[in-house]
Chains A and B, each alone.
Chain A
Amino acid sequence: MQGNITLGFYVPGQSFIHRLDPRTKILACLAMTMAVLFCNHPAGFAALSLVTLLALGLARVTPQLLLGILRPFGIFLVLALLLQLLFTPGRPLMMLGPLQLTREGVHFGFQLLWRLVLLIISGSLLTLTTSPLMITAALEDLLKPFRRVGVPVFELAMMMSIALRFVPTLLEEAQQIIRAQQSRGAAFTRGRLVQRVQGLVTLLVPLFASAFRRADELATAMEIRCYRPGANRTRMHQLRFHCRDYAVLAGTGVLFLIVLVMRWWG
């Protein structure tokens, strides 16, 4: 449990994916997500998996790190698979007590599992290779057109980036608090249910107290620096598309279209 790579962690680096424009990465991630959700053809899944694998390679993600990313989702993935396997009606394959395993269940179960894995990987690739600051900048830029219709784009982008920035911090802090309470004899993973619930209280109260304190301090700090949403600030790093960005966008765009075509005409 100590110091795992957690969801939303940013790992600085110089890989191909790291150097892509953040807007490219967000758009590509979006296209991949949609493609994965729409896809229902084995060939499509194969193509999507290959592209994901290529992206992992380009981002220099080691198998170990990949495992670290997926591990926290383990239980959730297994549960999703089991539910699909056991509760999908259809042609029976075999009986497991009162439950039956169906052909459709197996099909949809593994399809769901694979979808989730691909989604988690492409989402993690985005946060792993893009600093929260860049994500905010990109979101602001991408959502600019919606300002016309009254969407508070700057505020949304700022909220996003603050959330992204603080998720790992809070997780880290939660671990610290757990350790502090364990060294006072609090029980988190053993004892009767009552004790465990009490253990949870000893974690949540300091965690919330700290989150509110942080929020307060952050708000003050932003005000001191005269932060105003939407004020016309210039950026230290101007976003600019390069050849590689056009290539990646074209590639994922084509992939997305192929998947769509396969779904409706395949």
Chain B
Amino acid sequence: MILVEHLTHIYAPGTPLALTSLEDVSLHIEEGEFVVLAGATGSGKSTLVQHFNGLLLPTAGRVLVGGRDTRDKKVRRDLWRTVGLLFQNPEQQLFEESVFAEVAFACRNLGLDEKTVAVRACRALEMVGLEPDRYRALSPFALSRGQQQLVALAGLLAYQPPVLVLDEPTSGLDPAAREHIWQLLKKLQQAGHTVVVITHHMEDAARFAGRVVVLHRGKIYRQGTPRQVFSDPGGLRAVGLDVPMPCELMYCLQQKGLPVKSGIITLDEAELELKNLAMG
């Protein structure tokens, strides 16, 4: 679906402020995958995902979406219909006078009729856990940051792009809302969407991702299933990441010389393993 080949991106090239934010990144995201993008602050995650819908263009290398090069102007113009991108800061895009209009904005840009737009907007609000009747008429500026984020997410879900790319959708949400969003994304993936999520929560990544891609200083440091990626806590910690708690626990036990399996990433697995250990 999204093919990234030897992508290098330099901000402000040719000036004293030039900064290489991505260096020779190659990545293939298949249709229907659930990919989590992780990496320390400033490792280039946001920069990378903005290449997926043609907002940023490669300084070198290329990005193909559905086989079409994002450098092609005509392709780029309509790329947002295929690849829906949720930005890191929702407050940077809210401008309508009501939550409803905000959520409907992208739908309207698709050229849908008002009735469909209304139905979809309300559905999307429900999906993210905001009751439409309570929120639709409020001003988006009167909401809390977390709620604004949910509104922005609803706006994305309402126009139903086949690929969903979300830049830290759960930062600043309470645990219940966070869980809800992850479950929702999983459901969307099962319904056929391709989902790419940036997050700093490794526990969630371990539970939901089909593949985890770790960026470090603009390069791909490691990628694979959560089990593969989290098998080496030391290396991950060196690039500024955590490993999920169960994983960490098993690793510590192993270090103490106890016979536990490695490659454990969920709480349930850890519980089972501890039981086995206690039984002897």
From 188 to 229 in chain A, residues with beta carbon under 8 angstroms from any chain B beta carbon are: 190, 201-202, 205-206, 209-210, 213
Q: Quick one: CB contact mask for B69-95 with A, threshold 8 Å, 1 for yes?
A: 000000001001100110101011111
A184–B92 touching, CB < 8 Å: no
With a cutoff of 8 Å between Cβ atoms, the chain A residues found around residue B94 in the complex are 205-206, 209
Task: Output the nearest chain A residue to B12 by Cβ-Cβ distance.
Answer: A3
Partner of A209, one of B84, B105, B109, B141: B141
B17–A5 touching, CB < 8 Å: yes
Q: How large is the interface on B (under 10, 10 to 19, 20 to 34, 35 or more residues)?
A: 20 to 34
Distance, CA A182 to CA B106, complexed state (A): 10
B56–A184 touching, CB < 8 Å: no
Q: With A5-B15, A182-B80 given, name 5 new contacts (CB 8 A).
A: A5-B12, A62-B16, A68-B14, A185-B80, A185-B81
- A residues with a Cβ closer than 8 A to B are 2-5, 9, 11, 13, 62, 64-65, 68, 173, 176-177, 179-186, 190, 201-202, 205-206, 209-210, 213
Distance, CA A2 to CA B55, complexed state (A): 10
Partner of A179, one of B55, B110, B156: B55
With a cutoff of 8 Å between Cβ atoms, the chain B residues found around residue A13 in the complex are 16
Give the interface SS of chain A, mostly helix, strand, loop or mixed.
helix
- B residues with a Cβ closer than 8 A to A are 11-12, 14-17, 50, 53, 55-56, 77, 80-81, 84-85, 87, 89, 91-95, 105-106, 109-110, 141, 155-156, 159
Least Cβ–Cβ distance between A68 and chain B, in angstroms: 6
With A64-B15, A183-B80, A183-B87 as contacts: A210 and B92 at CB distance below 8 Å? yes
A65–B16 touching, CB < 8 Å: yes
Least Cβ–Cβ distance between B10 and chain A, in angstroms: 9
Distance, CA A181 to CA B80, complexed state (A): 10
With a cutoff of 8 Å between Cβ atoms, the chain B residues found around residue A184 in the complex are 80, 93, 105-106, 109, 155-156
Distance, CA A184 to CA B50, complexed state (A): 13
A180–B87 touching, CB < 8 Å: yes
B155–A183 touching, CB < 8 Å: no
With a cutoff of 8 Å between Cβ atoms, the chain B residues found around residue A68 in the complex are 14-15
Q: Can you list 17 A-B contacts with CB-CB less than 8 angstroms, sorted by A residue number?
A: A2-B12, A5-B12, A64-B15, A173-B92, A176-B87, A179-B55, A179-B87, A180-B92, A183-B53, A184-B80, A185-B80, A185-B109, A202-B95, A206-B94, A209-B94, A209-B95, A213-B91
Distance, CA A11 to CA B19, complexed state (A): 13
Partner of B50, one of A11, A179, A190, A205: A179
Partner of B93, one of A64, A65, A180, A213: A180
B16–A205 touching, CB < 8 Å: no
A201–B85 touching, CB < 8 Å: no
Ranked 8 nearest A-B pairs via Cβ: A185-B109, A205-B95, A3-B12, A180-B93, A184-B106, A3-B11, A183-B85, A179-B55
With a cutoff of 8 Å between Cβ atoms, the chain A residues found around residue B15 in the complex are 4-5, 11, 64-65, 68
B93–A181 touching, CB < 8 Å: yes
Distance, CA A201 to CA B97, complexed state (A): 12
- The residue among A183, A202, A210 with the most chain B CB atoms within 10 A of its own CB is A183
Distance, CA A11 to CA B110, complexed state (A): 42
Partner of A182, one of B14, B16, B17, B55: B55
Least Cβ–Cβ distance between A16 and chain B, in angstroms: 16
With A2-B56, A190-B77 as contacts: A206 and B109 at CB distance below 8 Å? no
With a cutoff of 8 Å between Cβ atoms, the chain A residues found around residue B105 in the complex are 184-186, 202
A11–B56 touching, CB < 8 Å: no
Least Cβ–Cβ distance between A202 and chain B, in angstroms: 5
Least Cβ–Cβ distance between B112 and chain A, in angstroms: 11
Distance, CA A177 to CA B80, complexed state (A): 15
Distance, CA A183 to CA B105, complexed state (A): 11
Distance, CA A209 to CA B11, complexed state (A): 26
Distance, CA A116 to CA B85, complexed state (A): 42
Task: Output the nearest chain B residue to A64 by Cβ-Cβ distance.
Answer: B14
A176–B110 touching, CB < 8 Å: no
B16–A11 touching, CB < 8 Å: yes
With a cutoff of 8 Å between Cβ atoms, the chain B residues found around residue A62 in the complex are 16
